[in-house]
Structure 1
Amino acid sequence: MLRKVLLASVAGLVMLGASAQATAQSAPATAAATSAWQDGLFGVRLDREKGRVLARLSPPDAEGVIGRYLYQPGLSAGLGMDNAGLDRSGLGQTQIVAFHKVGGRVFARFENHRFRAFDASDDEQRAVAASFAPSTVWATDVIETGADGSVVVDLSGFLTRDAVNIAGRLKRANLGSFKAAQDLGHLALEQTLVFPDNVELQTVQTFTSDEPGGELSRIAPDSRAVTLTVQHSFIRLPDDGFQPVPHDPRGGSVGQAMAVDFAAPLDQPVMKRMARRFRLEKTDPSAARSPVKKPIVFYVDRAAPVAIREALIEGGNWWAQAFEEAGYQNAFRVEVLPEGAHPMDARYSIIAWVHRETRGWSTGSTVSDPRTGEIVRGVVQLGSLRDRQDKMIIEGLVGAARAGTGAEDDPDRLAYHRLRHLSAHEIGHSIGLAHNFAASRYEGRASVMDYPAPWVIADGDRLDFSQAYTTGVGAWDRYAIDWLYGDTPGQDPQARRLALAAEAQGKGYRFVGDSDTRPLGSLQPYGAMWDNGEDPVAEFANTLAVRRIALSRFGLGNLPAGAPAADLRRVIVPIYLYHRYQTTAVGRQIGGVDYSYAVSGAGHERAEVVPADKQRAALEALMQALSPAELDLRDDLIDLLSSVQSGNPDRQTQIELFEGKTDAVFDPSSAAAAATEVVFETLLAPERLNRLIEQQRRDPGQLGLVETLDRVALAVGPGAVLSPRQAELRRVARARYAAHLSALMQGKDLSSTAQGVVRDSARRFGEQLKRCRGDRLETAQCAYLADALIGPVEGLKALSATLPVAQPVPPGAPIGGGEWH
């Protein structure tokens, strides 16, 4: 720990020196604070008396355009609430804005570049442009026309628009219907920055509502009025020297710039996709390896604590290796943001340290030219509570006393390693790379663009953390950077990329993105998040073993000294559900079809069904997760988990506990219900059940829907006599299965054959329950569920009302709710 602090201090001193030099270079920014005209991308003058910003734009061209810029709105000060999409450093939509002078008026128009005619005549291009509407978003009167034809306008109205759709985002987050209160906002004139290639302007905007959403009261001092700060970046449009890269589904690029090309030949697709990437040019284009004209530099927010910065810089700089191998020397680096520089200044690609009330996602986004896909700026947002969650998970596995020891299982050390990975991951998005959720399955975890669960190995009764996190970018990352940025002198770039993609597929590299991973019913067997290991079933056994070891010694030692004992309720959630993501990876094998992002003629176009033996092994593994022995907890631990916290509730903790039905006392049955839900939500997804019908139609020897449901019924139905404590946990799993059967029968997502099988299986299960034997607890529940499953539809509706299929499961991702990144 001491070494870590010393390293952070030395790194901080070195970076302060670099920051001072960079600050001196950025000195022109302060000149815009005067009332004189400041010349830059366009002229700016601040009228402090009237609180307005005057802009001096160019003389009109032949079409009346007096200025055309890349326009990027964002938030300098955010809401602080997860999943509202209103975070500090968050971005709105990148647009190309053109200011048109028509008579004595100026109109701001967002141009429409989604429909074009590439490499076509002027007449063809004009016809396409006239066929699709642009968006005129603002207009004002001309204040003054200069002798040279330049035009002076007051930009204030353009700047005080709801540029990032704050009202819409608040409504989508169920926080209420808000409207902009113009009299409660103003221009932040002191934050104006004017440079040759960009102008930065800022507005403080307040939105009001008579009926704000209840949760907003936890964030805002007065939830009826929400005040945010909006940054407006006007950026010089890139010149024509950038070479767009056609998107290849095998390349691993993210967020393609897309356009419909109405001039495309009949033998080519009309949809044109261009990968997003920075402009990276060698000083010697003829050399296989060369320094670059302008490196890609990401700057770490000075708001991040020094030790955090160290991890972010170290992990972010992993990408330098990939660029070096692609032939670009000194092409990438991460350093601290110059002192005095603004994180929203468009000149800087930024790694922002973002605070929210609760733990949430981190993101990597770009400001890019919608015409070509050229990235002009990367913006990474890192949630500041993520490292605390990672540390808590490790403390839940090994105990809080290990923190600060410097050992392989030191929670502080592992949280630091996770931050390095997080930095590399989100920067990866901001340099143009997509998630690759298959990468955990090959080449020793082949990509930082996967979601990494700490890989802990059960070794007897010991937990081995030596492979918890990787260091450096992986084989897939190096390939993806080479594909996106690399070039070989004398070789056609497109032919080179085709050869690279074919070579990667030949090596067995797999690529699975978000759309084939996030849906619970996804059938892609390689698409899983937070999983480990080449064999998902084998790793599932290891994950359960790790869970058993951790739970066997779980107790007060998993809390720091002096912490409220009630915190144990939060710490146990990711440990009790430690197997949740590996469960999903196993479930993806059932009905699984290995399909790829293929291109015609490459030899990988044919999808392959997961072999029957692997599917049946996966089903057996899931049944193990439903066993009462796996769902049970020690009595002494249950007693410890019934401590509560006094005073006002803490939202961060409140949302991450098992919801119980026993008042304040810890409810083991509700925890067990959440664990069984993790199995059923994937296994019984309608897409999977439909697929089981189809795969057995083609191969009678494959795992089918009848066999699958019969096996579940055997696992949770009446059978061997259990002890009272385990019998109740079997009833918990049984009730969850009945709830899913009820929901499936009332839904519309099953094929007619699958619906028939589900109804028949529900009836047979109900008849089985009618014959159950045991004490009155057992027979009473069996009768209740049987009557609902084999009776009229009203019984199903009543069952759904009392046992809803949406069993609450505490937030899991990011590592431990919410939506994407």
Structure 2
Amino acid sequence: MRLFFKSLCLFLFCLPTLNAQESFSEKSKDYKAYEGYFDFYYDASTDKVFLKVDALETEFLYVYSLSSGMGSNDIGLDRGQLGNEQVVYFKKAGNKLLLVQPNLEYRALTENPLEKKAVEQAFAKSVIYGFPIVETIGTSHIIDLSGFLMQDAHGVSARLKSAGEGSYTVDASRSALNMERTKGFPENVEFDALLTFKGEPKGRLVRSVTPNPNLITVNQHHSFIKLPDAGFEMREFHPGCGSYPFAYYDYATPVESSLEKRFITRHRLEKKNPEAATSEAVEPIVYYLDNGTPEPVRSALLEGGRWWNQAFEAIGYTNAFQLKMLPDDADPLDVRYNVIQWVHRSTRGWSYGSSITDPRTGEIIKGHVSLGSLRIRQDFMIAQALADKPFETSDTNHQKMLDLALARIRQLSAHEIGHTLGFAHNFAASSTDKTSVMDYPHPDFKLIGGKIDFSGAYETGMGDWDKVTVAYSYSDFPTGTDSHKALWDILDTAREAGLIYISDRDARAQGGAHAKAHLWDNGKSASDELDRVLELRETAMDQFSPANIRSEEPYAVLEDVFVPLYFLHRYQTEAAVKMVGGMDYSYATRDESTTPWSFLPRKEQEQALNSVLETLDAEQLAIPRNILEWFPPRPVGYSQTRESFRGRSGLSFDPLGAAETAADMTLGLLLHPERASRLVNQKGLEPGQLGLEEVLNTLVSKTLENPKKDAYLSGVQEVVNFRVLKHLMVLATHAEVHPQVNAAALQAINTQKRSLLKAGDGDALAREMLRRIEAFEKYPEKFQPGDVPKIPDGSPIGMACSQE
């Protein structure tokens, strides 16, 4: 009993000490303290971060991102990749703080609190995380933020799984907070976590970019950001303004008006003196270039990005847009910096212009550009392929090619910054004298005196359309101005000047219908430009030689340099094809005195069809024999890549496979099911227009009924013809087209069958084509179009929008 009493006394004596040790207030004296928008503490002994929450139900912005990525364009988890921004707030519930995301898609902009509450309660909100309260100090609550920071917020596991690369989960034993990039600032706090994902790799992509594909380590970044203060002026969206729309539903809207409210996204920019014709900005828009960018790329990006100041000067701003080098001690993911980041990947891929915006208003808080470092090398290779024996006398004779690649990089810098300023693609700009950096430009080579001229391949400076978009988005109007009318006047003036704006889906080759909006094209007439490109391509092939690679390089390198030359016509073919069954229209409103849409005149469609069919002629597709002599089997160490020719002949180069690939590209565009259905509609609405049957008859005449006497050319034309037959069979059996399309394709096949039957048994190719037709007729449900050698990667050329 005496022993028990002593033990009890000792326990009671020590109890206050134990309680003191468990108190956060006492223990935090040993933690590293950070002051900022939220104060927080780091305990190195447990690798935990504790957040001090002073204000409940006060909204702020939460953004997650990747501070280090995987380096695979195909997987798409790049360094600096932004996630979704979310307005959130902390709400106390018992012994927990909940991180709540309100539903801003549905609102009630009214002074009536009950009306607001009714809408708020009608639509779901999201609780992102629940934090047990570690300690309450006065009106402040301490929570352990570590579990929140160590979760896979960016969805790396889901991305890997959807890409077929395997199932991965966060391995906590191999993960830790990264305090080097965890910082506090007055209006934002930044947290960084090194996360290791453990799993079984299923695909080749993870294996290609990780030292151990079972363990993938990346860094995820979390930002808590103060929302902008009031005073930002939201600007109305017009479908022809060239800006991205920002929309929500306002249930306080009168019945006679639309619930959906549309505005544009833009930075906050105001003149110091709005009454003055020219004025400095209250706060200029400043961008920063990644200080890891090498020369001469660095200078090119700075020069191209600064072009935007020309457009701001045109609306009366002085030095309102600036581009500087990122300070050495700055973090590119810090919300205070608009950044152009130089991103390395294992393969060439797209560049992106992204933004962090205020979901309440559409105000752009941070612009963030990611430029793929390998894109400049593709432009260099295009120039190398078209140059006339550049390395004949010296392996260092590369300046002309480098100059072209840098010219593209300048344009790319301006393009991607444009996205972060709020601007969408304008794929019709190339048809109006290249009036926008927001188009995708193909290098505009010229033939001068029989020689290919590189000068002027890419435009410099702002285009006229770019100045229109800046004027619409950023003009600061004097007091008393009817801003609605002033904005519409800007667009009316642009329309009267002949400027055209057409954006993404209308311009895509697969299904796009606009006859003047295309990707990677040049010229007012796409078909005229295709004719010119084919002529230029022929000239380049005539001069192509082993001197297009450096001395001591194997011929395998020459084969790869030849790829962009052989497929030089691919994008202009896409553009010309869209004229067949093509339409002309704008994003017009009722107030504008313009025809909403029209079919392209028949003569222009026929001209385009004839130009496109040239790309199916053996004389265009046959690689010259002298060039084939330079393409031996590839040596060890120089294996094919995704940007190499593919074929059916094993190690030896396959010229028929190259032609088959090129032909299949054209046929897939020309006989696209949606285009075929449009041609049926076109003929029905305007009987004098070009129809699908006429297109198919012309196609058959130029291919299946166009024999070649030369054995090599005959072989090339034969592989083209078999692809024509396959694509006709696709249309004949396609379930998502009008029945008239099925009927027209089947008629073309039957006509060809009758012709083959007349050929007799002496023609082996005719017998094989006949056999395939009869098998198709007998078992159409078993028809498979068959694969062709895959076309090498092209887009992004020199390079999914929202972004280029």
Query: TM-score per shorter chain, which class?
Result: over 0.9
Name the structure 2 match of 1:455. Answer: 444
Report deviation, 1:746.
Answer: 2.4
Q: What is the Cα-based RMSD across aligned positions, in Å? A: 2.2
1:146 aligns with 2:113: no
Report deviation, 1:604.
Answer: 2.9
1:87 aligns with 2:81: no
> Which secondary structure state, in structure 2, belongs to the residue aligned with residue 463 of structure 1?
strand
1:548 aligns with 2:529: no
1:424-439 paired onto structure 2 within 5 Å: 424-439=414-429
1:732-747 paired onto structure 2 within 5 Å: 732-747=719-734
- Contact 1:811 1:818 survives alignment (8 Å): no
Report deviation, 1:616.
Answer: 0.5
Cα deviation code 1:758-799 (max 9, x no counterpart) = 11112112222333489x6xx222222233335554555666
> Which secondary structure state, in structure 2, belongs to the residue aligned with residue 37 of structure 1?
strand
Q: Partners in 2 of 1:628 and 1:720 — Cα distance?
A: 10
Name the structure 2 match of 1:9. Answer: none
- Contact 2:581 2:678 survives alignment (8 Å): yes
1:203-242 paired onto structure 2 within 5 Å: 203-242=193-232
Cα deviation code 1:353-394 (max 9, x no counterpart) = 101110000000000011111000000000000001100100
TM (norm. structure 2) is 0.93
Question: Measured at CA, do residues 625 and 49 of structure 1 come closer, stay the same or move farther in structure 2, by a change above 3 Å?
Answer: same
> Which secondary structure state, in structure 1, belongs to the residue aligned with residue 77 of structure 2?
coil
2:756 to 762, 769, 776: 769
> Which secondary structure state, in structure 2, belongs to the residue aligned with residue 642 of structure 1?
coil
Name the structure 1 match of 2:680. Answer: 693
1:311 to 271, 291, 300: 300
Name the structure 2 match of 1:137. Answer: 128
1:298-377 paired onto structure 2 within 5 Å: 298-377=287-366
> Which secondary structure state, in structure 2, belongs to the residue aligned with residue 800 of structure 1?
coil
Name the structure 1 match of 2:15. Answer: none
Structure 1 residues 790-799 or 292-301, which shifts more? 790-799
- Contact 1:574 1:816 survives alignment (8 Å): no
Q: Partners in 1 of 2:578 and 2:390 — Cα distance?
A: 35
Report deviation, 1:634.
Answer: 1.8
1:38-437 paired onto structure 2 within 5 Å: 38-60=34-56, 65=57, 67-119=58-110, 121-147=112-138, 149-254=139-244, 256-398=245-387, 399-401=389-391, 410-437=400-427
Question: Measured at CA, do residues 759 and 466 of structure 1 come closer, stay the same or move farther in structure 2, by a change above 3 Å?
Answer: same
Report deviation, 1:818.
Answer: 7.4
Report deviation, 1:492.
Answer: 2.1
Structure 1 residues 266-275 or 227-236, which shifts more? 266-275
Name the structure 2 match of 1:712. Answer: 699
Question: Measured at CA, do residues 407 and 487 of structure 1 come closer, stay the same or move farther in structure 2, by a change above 3 Å?
Answer: farther
Letter in 1 for 2:794: G
Report deviation, 1:800.
Answer: 2.4
TM (norm. structure 1) is 0.91
Report deviation, 1:214.
Answer: 2.7
- Contact 1:252 1:434 survives alignment (8 Å): yes
- Contact 2:109 2:252 survives alignment (8 Å): yes
1:646 aligns with 2:613: no
Letter in 2 for 1:326: I
Name the structure 2 match of 1:786. Answer: 770
1:800 aligns with 2:784: yes
Letter in 2 for 1:242: F
Q: Partners in 2 of 1:403 and 1:198 — Cα distance?
A: 58
Structure 1 residues 616-625 or 282-291, which shifts more? 282-291
Report deviation, 1:648.
Answer: 7.3
Cα deviation code 1:713-744 (max 9, x no counterpart) = 11111444521111111111111111111222
Question: Measured at CA, do residues 270 and 818 of structure 1 come closer, stay the same or move farther in structure 2, by a change above 3 Å?
Answer: closer
> Which secondary structure state, in structure 1, belongs to the residue aligned with residue 160 of structure 2?
helix
> Which secondary structure state, in structure 1, belongs to the residue aligned with residue 644 of structure 2?
coil
Question: Measured at CA, do residues 120 and 554 of structure 1 come closer, stay the same or move farther in structure 2, by a change above 3 Å?
Answer: farther
Letter in 2 for 1:808: K
Letter in 1 for 2:767: A
1:601 aligns with 2:591: yes
1:480 aligns with 2:456: no
Structure 1 residues 387-396 or 297-306, which shifts more? 297-306
Question: Measured at CA, do residues 342 and 645 of structure 1 come closer, stay the same or move farther in structure 2, by a change above 3 Å?
Answer: farther
Question: Measured at CA, do residues 34 and 71 of structure 1 come closer, stay the same or move farther in structure 2, by a change above 3 Å?
Answer: farther
- Contact 1:446 1:476 survives alignment (8 Å): yes
Name the structure 1 match of 2:603. Answer: 613
Structure 1 residues 267-276 or 667-676, which shifts more? 267-276
Q: Partners in 2 of 1:131 and 1:551 — Cα distance?
A: 66
Structure 1 residues 764-773 or 680-689, which shifts more? 764-773
Flag structure 1 segments of 5+ consecutive residues without an equivalent.
1-31
- Contact 1:409 1:465 survives alignment (8 Å): no
Flag structure 2 segments of 5+ consecutive residues without an equivalent.
1-27
Structure 1 residues 303-312 or 419-428, which shifts more? 303-312
2:622 to 626, 629, 632: 632
- Contact 1:692 1:705 survives alignment (8 Å): yes
> Which secondary structure state, in structure 1, belongs to the residue aligned with residue 523 of structure 2?
coil
> Which secondary structure state, in structure 2, belongs to the residue aligned with residue 654 of structure 1?
coil
- Contact 1:393 1:574 survives alignment (8 Å): yes
Report deviation, 1:516.
Answer: 1.1
Structure 1 residues 555-564 or 725-734, which shifts more? 555-564
> Which secondary structure state, in structure 1, belongs to the residue aligned with residue 223 of structure 2?
strand
> Which secondary structure state, in structure 1, belongs to the residue aligned with residue 495 of structure 2?
helix
Q: Partners in 1 of 2:300 and 2:81 — Cα distance?
A: 22
